[in-house]
């Protein structure tokens, strides 16, 4: 069995696709159940956040696994496979481990270094354990991922490189002003009472807002969050809870609104937002031309392909396995083909502009046209940038909106409303792409690389343990049989003599097996060492069922000893 992950994230898909592919809790449960019910998968776990959906599985066949996991993602997300495929990525074996550890450290987050992902990983593992879809591999992988993430945060300054999504979003709303200065004395409306909304409320309280109103479909949860805020010794905010139908009224009073619900439709429409601003100012709200690209508009292609960021395969000399992006992820290419392609890409880059260059005939026509123009007007015309056109000046915002939901809670059309500043997942993704990277990120990458190597060695060593145990069990059985036969042949031996003989035979067997078993564990821990277990089973004619029963016993012990 081998680890496989198929997924999409803010790095591979536009927000419009992520919105439609977002999974409810019930959908995550069904996805995991259907995955372990599928033939290629033995274990499964799903990691679903506001900016990624990833399905992890322990599969026995790569091609069948990729096809099955891709199909299941499409079915449960509601996005057609043809539309989803260009945005999928596939990581296999050590590259899949590397990916999860990078995610756990916040290296793959929209806001690099944020620590919320650790809680989300923990929730994913808990769900898989509850559904009994997490065996040894998933438990080891996610638990080690959590340890690696904690190590990265404790040993480096990765926390300085990033913030939580909430903090980063508020910083974008403040637009260069200190968040505490910007928030002080304002009134805030928090829609939703889940973990992200609770974090937003706590962050706003620490920033110095004067009042927080919490709205939620379940009023009791809103009241509980408001009570926690009121009883906090760290802040002096006044908090109260309201039902969801009070949101339009509260919006007219709020300076800041943060929304993060699990709703499948819009919570705040552009009309409702315009009405709230009009209720505050007493004047109609104008629309301002929004020159931002429409949600889901693909970014221009990079100048080269084959580099570390957009190469379909990401292979390094230190790591086995491979990664695939986009169409190639589900194309069913063989492992050998993928590695050959990666080697070709590593040897050079391809300029995608070559395809768009003019032919010699076209160049000749262009030169003739320029010469004719020069003869007519006495010079070759300059290629000038168009003069910027002065646009309407946006008035100072009356209402600040932060949408942290996926799919979105707040109508994207609010971007065009005068007096409104909206920051959503899409604009956060654009802003984070330009954020400076801290020097600590390189140190975290080294930690991830070391941990991947150690994890692979531990998994390979664990793979041979049942075979070694089965070998020692067979040796013990042979030894017991021979001693019993000796007892029958020499019945006159006293108990002391029998004890000496048993100890001597035990010592001989232990000394003969010690060096080979220690060495085979060392060899098995190295890359490509999986074959040593097969060799051991063949050389000593070990019963495969005996090895399998030892493996099941080890798994059972692991589950019993594992903390809930």
| E strand map for 308-349 | 322-325
Q: Is the dihedral of CA 309, 314, 319, 321 positive or negative?
A: positive
3-class SS at 304?
strand
300-308 long-range Cβ contacts below 8 angstroms, 24+ apart: 301/352, 302/352, 303/351, 303/352, 303/353, 304/349, 304/350, 304/351, 304/352, 305/345, 305/349, 305/350, 305/352, 306/345, 306/346, 306/348, 306/349, 306/350, 307/349
Structural tokens at position 52 = 């990624």
For residue 408, give every residue at least 6 positions away whose Cβ sits within 8 Å of its Cβ, in sequence order, or none: 15, 19, 266, 424, 425
Structural tokens at position 482 = 């021979």
Question: CA-CA distance, 214 to 224, in Å (whole number)?
Answer: 10
Q: Helix, strand, coil proportions of the chain in percent (round to 5)?
A: 55, 15, 30
Question: CA-CA distance, 448 to 455, in Å (whole number)?
Answer: 10
Q: Of 458, 405, 332, 403, which Cα lies nearest the Cα of 70? A: 332
Write down the number of H helices and E strands in the chain: 21, 13
Burial code of 82-119, b = ≥16 C-beta within 10 A, e = fewer?
Answer: eebbbbbbbbbbbbbbbbbbbbbbbbbbbbbbbbbbbe
Structural tokens at position 132 = 């009994």
Q: Is residue 50 among the annotated active site residues?
A: yes
Question: CA-CA distance, 107 to 426, in Å (whole number)?
Answer: 18
Q: What pairing do the DSSP bridges indicate for beta strands 256-259 and 187-191?
A: parallel
The answer to whether 320 and 527 have CB atoms below 8 angstroms apart is yes
Question: CA-CA distance, 63 to 226, in Å (whole number)?
Answer: 51
Enumerate the active-site residues: 50
């Amino acid at each position: 069995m081998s680890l496989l992950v198929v997924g999409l994230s803010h790095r591979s898909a536009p927000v419009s696709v992520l919105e439609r592919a977002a999974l409810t809790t019930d959908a995550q449960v069904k996805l995991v159940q259907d995955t372990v019910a599928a033939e290629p998968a033995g274990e499964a776990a799903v990691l679903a956040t506001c900016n990624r959906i990833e399905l992890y599985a322990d599969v026995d066949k790569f091609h069948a696994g990729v096809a099955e996991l891709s199909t299941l993602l499409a079915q449960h997300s509601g996005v057609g496979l043809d539309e989803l495929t260009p945005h999928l990525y596939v990581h296999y074996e050590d590259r899949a481990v590397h990916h999860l550890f990078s995610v756990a450290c916040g290296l793959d987050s929209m806001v690099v270094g944020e620590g919320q992902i650790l809680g989300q990983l923990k929730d994913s593992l808990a769900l898989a354990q509850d559904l009994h879809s997490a065996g040894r591999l998933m438990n080891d992988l996610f638990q080690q991922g959590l340890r690696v993430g904690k190590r990265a945060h404790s040993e480096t300054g990765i926390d300085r490189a990033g913030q939580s999504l909430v903090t980063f979003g508020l910083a974008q709303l403040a637009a260069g002003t200190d968040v505490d200065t910007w928030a002080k004395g304002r009134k805030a409306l928090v829609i939703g009472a889940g973990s992200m909304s609770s974090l937003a409320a706590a962050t706003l309280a620490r920033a110095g807002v004067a009042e927080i109103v919490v709205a939620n479909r379940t009023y009791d949860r809103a009241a509980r969050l408001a009570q926690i805020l009121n009883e906090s010794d760290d802040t002096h905010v006044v908090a109260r809870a309201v039902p969801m139908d009070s949101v339009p009224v509260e919006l007219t009073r709020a300076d800041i609104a943060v929304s993060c619900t699990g709703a499948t439709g819009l919570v705040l429409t552009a009309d409702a937002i315009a009405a709230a601003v009009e209720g505050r100012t007493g004047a109609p709200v104008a629309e301002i031309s929004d020159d931002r690209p429409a949600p889901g508009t693909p970014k221009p292609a990079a100048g080269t392909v084959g580099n570390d960021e957009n190469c379909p395969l990401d292979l390094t000399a230190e790591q086995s396995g491979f990664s695939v992006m986009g169409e190639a992820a589900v194309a069913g290419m063989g492992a050998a083909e993928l590695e050959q392609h990666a080697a070709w890409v590593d040897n050079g880059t391809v300029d995608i502009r070559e395809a768009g260059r003019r032919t010699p005939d076209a160049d000749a026509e262009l030169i003739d046209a320029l010469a004719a123009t020069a003869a007519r007007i006495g010079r070759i015309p300059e290629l000038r940038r168009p003069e910027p056109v002065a646009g309407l000046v946006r008035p100072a915002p009356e209402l600040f909106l932060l949408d942290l939901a996926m799919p979105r809670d707040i109508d994207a059309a609010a971007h065009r409303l005068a007096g409104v500043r909206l920051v959503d997942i899409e604009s956060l993704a654009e802003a984070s792409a330009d954020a400076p990277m801290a020097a600590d990120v390189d140190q975290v990458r080294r930690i991830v690389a070391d941990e991947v190597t150690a994890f692979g060695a531990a998994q390979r060593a664990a793979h041979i343990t049942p075979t070694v145990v089965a070998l020692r069990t067979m040796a013990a059985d042979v030894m017991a049989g021979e001693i019993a036969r000796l007892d029958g042949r020499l019945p006159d031996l006293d108990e002391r003599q029998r004890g000496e003989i048993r100890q001597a035979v035990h010592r001989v067997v232990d000394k003969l097996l010690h060096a080979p078993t220690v060495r085979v564990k060392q060899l098995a821990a190295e890359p490509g060492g999986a074959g040593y277990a097969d060799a051991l089973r063949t050389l000593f004619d070990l019963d495969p069922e005996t090895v399998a029963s030892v493996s099941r016993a080890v798994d059972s012990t692991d589950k019993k000893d594992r903390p809930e």
